Amino acid sequence: MKQTHAYKYRLYPTDEQKHTLARTFGCVRFVYNWALRKKTDAFSNEHQRLSYKDLSAMLPQVKKQEASTWLSEVSSVPLQQALRHLDKAFLNFFEGRAKYPRFKKKRQRQSATYTANAFIWRHGFLTLAKMQDPLDIRWSRPLPEGAIPSSVTITKDRADRYFASILVEEEMAHLSSNEQVIGADLGLTSFVVLSDGEIVGNPRFFHKDEKKLAKAQRRHARKQKGSRNREKARLKVARLHARIADRRRDFLHKLSTRLIRENQVVCVESLAVKNMLKNGKLSKAISDVGWSEFVTQLGYKADWYGRTLVKIDTWYPSSKRCFACGHVLDALPLEIRRWDCPQCGVHHDRDVNAAKNIVAAGQAVLACGEAVRPERVPSRSGKPPRSRKPSR
């Protein structure tokens, strides 16, 4: 079965190409913000919804205006794609997947998308519209043999690094099936504890560079606004953030790929990370660990390779439930890492026990096709308690 995949590579454009890309980024940002303002004002003032076709028809008139004739100096394809991206952003907003679209800023990540009629792909060289020479691309891995790019997105991050994301269609071969089923308990002390007893430590990438980052941010704050020294200091801060993000992403990709390749079924908990971030004492550590990104990677890689990802109900008491007899504790504070079951006497490691319960619940979901809900434990007063998130 053919699927569309994006391959991302580092770019090293020449000074002339940087100038062309900078103008394109600026025009794309202008068109996106102009269209967002048009859509917002039309709905607020006239209760009218402007579609992509309406905005696309208005764009040529904007290019003819004296104040924005410079829009014609760049390729028209990235400008049209900016309108499509805004249309997609509103669709995500109305369907509850994202917040209301925001205006793009010059200091944020910049991007421009070129479709097949706006670039030349020949013998492994990529040349964009309005450019004479091909881009210098660091081919960290080869594209699939015979692949023809359908679109190319050029991005510039806040650390002034350029990347090309090349979209191609390729045939995905599913991995050979096996009988391995694994449960993964995500945590902070250890990033993940697997049901087979393996423990993967938490690298804490942000924590390791936190002092360097704080020092760089203080230096940036002391520089005069608008000066070149302030821009240099800003770049150092951005590079530290990029270093942290790159290392975390690399770690998550390697671990998620290994779990998907080695196991036919992977079972994890559905964590309400947004709610957990409201904990002031743990919010920084939760943001650093990257649970949401890890589960997302497991999901799409399972689809790629013919594996199964099972998400257990958020309220399932994986830590408080005895894997041996099924007894559920009334409470289990976070500081207690090992406990003895009061009913059968089995000694449990908190995280390993949780991972075993997760894999058992995942197998039950696969066998019965049901959502696994937590047992209701009577309170001290004898009354059934209200549903709440169990302690982890």
Residue 82, judged by CB atoms within 10 A of its CB (0-12, 13-18, 19+), counts as buried
Contact 143, 170 (CB under 8 A): no
Contact 78, 27 (CB under 8 A): yes
Distances in Å between the Cα of 376 and the Cα atoms of 11, 327, 348 are: 56, 11, 21
Contact 128, 118 (CB under 8 A): yes
Q: Which of 160, 269, 330, 375 is catalytic?
A: 269
Distance from C-alpha of 133 to C-alpha of 120, rounded to nearest angstrom: 10
Q: Which residues of 348-364 are buried (b: 16+ CB within 10 A; e: fewer)?
A: bebbbbbbbbbbbbbeb
Distance from C-alpha of 129 to C-alpha of 137, rounded to nearest angstrom: 16
User: Does the annotation mark 269 as catalytic?
Assistant: yes
Q: Which of 41, 198, 335, 351 is catalytic?
A: 351
Phi, psi of 325 (to 5 degrees): -120, -15
Q: Which of 185, 196, 198, 293 is catalytic?
A: 185
Distance from C-alpha of 187 to C-alpha of 294, rounded to nearest angstrom: 12
Distance from C-alpha of 225 to C-alpha of 129, rounded to nearest angstrom: 36
Residue 112, judged by CB atoms within 10 A of its CB (0-12, 13-18, 19+), counts as buried
Contact 143, 7 (CB under 8 A): yes
SS3 379: coil
Counting every residue, how long is the chain? 392
- The number of C-alpha atoms within 13 Å of 127 and in the hemisphere containing its C-beta is 8
Tokens of 294: 């890890």
Phi, psi of 11 (to 5 degrees): -115, 150
DSSP state, residue 322: -
Residue 161 backbone class (left: φ over 0; alpha: ψ -120 to 50; beta: rest) = beta
User: Does the annotation mark 293 as catalytic?
Assistant: no
Name the residues annotated as catalytic: 185, 269, 351
